[in-house]
A and B are shown apart, each in its own frame.
Chain A
Amino acid sequence: MTIGTKFLLARYADCSFWLGRYMERAESLARILDVNLHFSRDSRGSQNWRSIVQLNADEERFDEAYDVASYANVVHFYVLDRDNPSSIISTIRAAKENARALRPTISTEMWSHLNVFNNTLSALTSDDLKYSELSRVCAMIKEECQTHTGITEGTFFRDQTWYFYLIGREVERADQTSRLLDIKYHLLLPPNQAVGSPVDVSQWNAMLRSVAGYHAFRREHPRGMSPKQVAAFLLFNMSFPRSIALCLSEIDGHLHRLRSGFGLRAGASAMEILDETRAALADHSPDTVIQFGLHQFSDYVQRQLIAVTAAVRAEFCGVVPEQNAA
């Protein structure tokens, strides 16, 4: 008569996966907005807000609702716009709705915090997002996401639900990093621009900061910064929490634990896809991945992550693919 370690409702597993994903996504978006404000300037030194729209592959939806990619429009679109499912307010609301379904299993503190966070966001107005205020708002959002992470770490019952939450979080991290690499690498390396110019370095700098990786990178590479080094760091580093290699390794570990620790038979095809992806990563060096084409490789990683997600949801949760996609 317990909900504990004996079994987990398939629906709860799915909700937990998405709770992890959405919280990670909100934090990632807040980082990107904040960093763009501070560091990301184009060759003439003005900020390029459209790049964020491109990063998230939201051009179509954005252009339907807004005429220009101005500061005000882009920030509104990504923070307050309830019609945009990838805005922070929509993402947190989706997280809260998954948490609502999970309420029987999560701690009161987790629920209460998410509830209050959601209410705080709902009270924001365009005025709060003025150019002078954005950084503080982004800091608040990051802090609330990190508070969520802390409460979760401290209170989440370590049953299967926990591992599905972690898998969701790591999949989202890997996905965010691969998108960033893909888009930024191309935006930042226009054919006519000399690699290594001052603007270029500041761009790479910004990219690292948006994944909280600047100082980590500096510990590995105290001097210098080349696009190849940055790309390799984000792809291969096994100590950096947002590198693709580490995220994939974490997912692998969580799947192993679900199968060995809880005796679940499902997950075999998810592990197979994961093995294949990690093998592909291991086969590459920084040089070969650039030769192969960073865009092609990022694209491959993203497709594999979609396949892992579908496999996890189909095998453990009985969710038919193409249903409730992100």
Chain B
Amino acid sequence: MPPSEAGLRSGCDGEIMSDGSDLLTAYDRQNHWCEMFGGDGAPAEHAAMVRTRLGSLTLSDLVRRAEIAERELYNLGITFTVYSERDVIDRILPFDVIPRIISPRDWDIIERGSKQRVAALNMFLHDVYHDGRIIKEGVVPAELIYGNAYYREQMRGVSVPHGSYVNVCGVDLVRDHLGQFKVLEDNARTPSGVSYVVENRHMMQRTFPDLMDEIGIRPVSDYGQKLLEAVADLAPEQVGDPQVVLLSPGVFNSAYFEHVFLAREMGVPLVEGSDLFVEEDRVWMRTTAGRAPVHAIYRRLDDAFLDPEVFNPESLLGVPGLFSAYAKGNVGLANAVGTGCADDKAVYAYMPRIIRFYLDEDPILDNVETHICREREGFEYTMANLENLVVKPVGESGGYGIVIGPRATREEIDEVRAKLQADPANFISQPMIDLSVCPTLIDGTIEPRHVDLRPFVVTGQSSWVLPGGLTRVALRRGSLVVNSSQGGGSKDTWVLEP
């Protein structure tokens, strides 16, 4: 990965800001809520010390260290991999060295709110696969669940340990222009990105120790052990010292680095489907000494590929017989099979109602205001306000298929109108949120860029939230799309000690 040209130039010039002017003086948050400076009348006091320290660096020093950091990520192989016929290309997720800082007060809301959502999601999933009370009582439409591509009829009546379905949940949050955190979506299948949270921190500790000293940043390094405990909670009760493994689709998966990272942090074998087999409804792995039992699996493989005997028969990645062993309670799976019908964008719209239904509590974290196009009111409102709304297909992920009304061309608006007309139930719409920004090093200058936040909630018998999370940053000027597939990068996220 060659350093950016702009970076090289200012690095080599050895240009020193000798007039004593502050690195951040010229920074303008452009009226957005800023994670480093706060908003109107609400200066981010918790970030004052970091601002001062950051401000005292020279731009050339910042650029130089950013280059070192980027090169190191590449050399360490903290990369996602693109395979072509001839080549294996490793790419890094762009990393911005200016951290995002979260106050203890904000974190308290995020932590409680995320746990609340996971608690509701787990009760919802148990209900869906057992009595279906929420459907019978008319809170969530039946076809939304039973017609959902991720609903697994095979899970009906299957009990999972501790009623814990969503063992790893990534709750995507954004912050609006008033500094309010809102949930954009729940990721209840196999959320990824946590390896970057930990590796970004290690990178910052090596590259900016002077910025971090005595700030009181909560550690993120025990994620692997917390995850191991949670997955071990899913093993059959009678097993004293359960064998946990991480099941990966293999080296060709773009998240393979993360699978390796997690297997190492958990201290468990990283296995592929072909390393496992099932005999008499028990799961075994192939070792040099013959077979060895497996009691709980953190799987990074979608439901559809888990077991060709039950799901996609074409799958070569899975383990024949795995589902039967699971349904009999002989092996634990994290996440449970069939969680996808709860993190759907259409179900998301019902989350505030779902939380109230099961917990009899108001949501601690609000949804972004969402119009459900399958409901007449929502549909009509959406059709009348297309130019002002963000329209999202409910079955897509990775930011695909989203139309941002205020930025769309006439043709794009007409196209999405036709699609809405044809299949209203496939869409939701939301107002355009003015996402918060964070100072970001762009071509040798510091500019505001929009960010989101994905905290990770780990749940076995109980829930734990990693004090940090993945801050994704849209590196293109003005862009609101933070997905790595569309020009997003990441930042280290510092949750401050209370």
Q: A residues touching B (Cβ–Cβ < 8 Å)?
A: 1-3, 6-13, 82, 93, 96-97, 100-101, 103-104, 108, 111-112, 115-116, 119, 160, 258, 262-266, 316-318
Contact = CB atoms under 8 A, between A and B. Distances in A.
Closest 10 CB pairs of A and B: A7-B287, A104-B270, A103-B260, A104-B263, A10-B286, A316-B288, A115-B77, A8-B288, A7-B292, A13-B288
Interface of B: 74-77, 86-88, 90, 228, 232, 241-244, 251, 256, 260, 263-264, 267-272, 274-275, 285-290, 292
Report whether over half of chain A's contact residues are helix, strand or loop; otherwise say mixed: helix
B288 A104 contact: no
Given A3-B267, A100-B256, A9 B241 contact: no
A10 B86 contact: no
A83 B86 CA distance: 8
Given A11-B274, A97-B88, A1 B289 contact: no
A13 B275 CA distance: 12
Given A1-B242, A104-B270, A108-B76, 12 more contacts: A1-B241, A1-B267, A7-B287, A9-B271, A9-B287, A11-B272, A11-B274, A97-B251, A115-B75, A160-B288, A263-B289, A265-B289
B244 A1 contact: yes
A166 B320 CA distance: 34
A12 B245 CA distance: 14
A266 B285 CA distance: 16
Contacts of A112: 75-77
Report whether over half of chain B's contact residues are helix, strand or loop; otherwise say mixed: mixed
A186 B244 CA distance: 56
Contacts of B275: 9-11
A104 B287 contact: no
Contacts of B286: 9-11, 318
Contacts of B241: 1
30 contacts: A1-B244, A2-B267, A3-B269, A7-B287, A7-B288, A7-B292, A8-B288, A9-B271, A11-B274, A11-B286, A82-B86, A97-B88, A100-B251, A100-B256, A103-B264, A103-B270, A104-B269, A104-B270, A108-B76, A111-B76, A111-B77, A115-B77, A116-B75, A264-B288, A264-B289, A265-B289, A265-B290, A266-B288, A266-B289, A316-B288
Interface centre among A1, A7, A101, A263 (most CB of B within 10 A): A1
Contacts of B256: 100
A317 B268 contact: no
Nearest to A164: B288
Nearest to B292: A7
A12 B289 CA distance: 13
Nearest to A317: B288
A156 B468 CA distance: 32
A111 B232 CA distance: 29
A65 B238 CA distance: 63
Nearest to A7: B287
Contacts of B74: 119
A301 B244 CA distance: 43
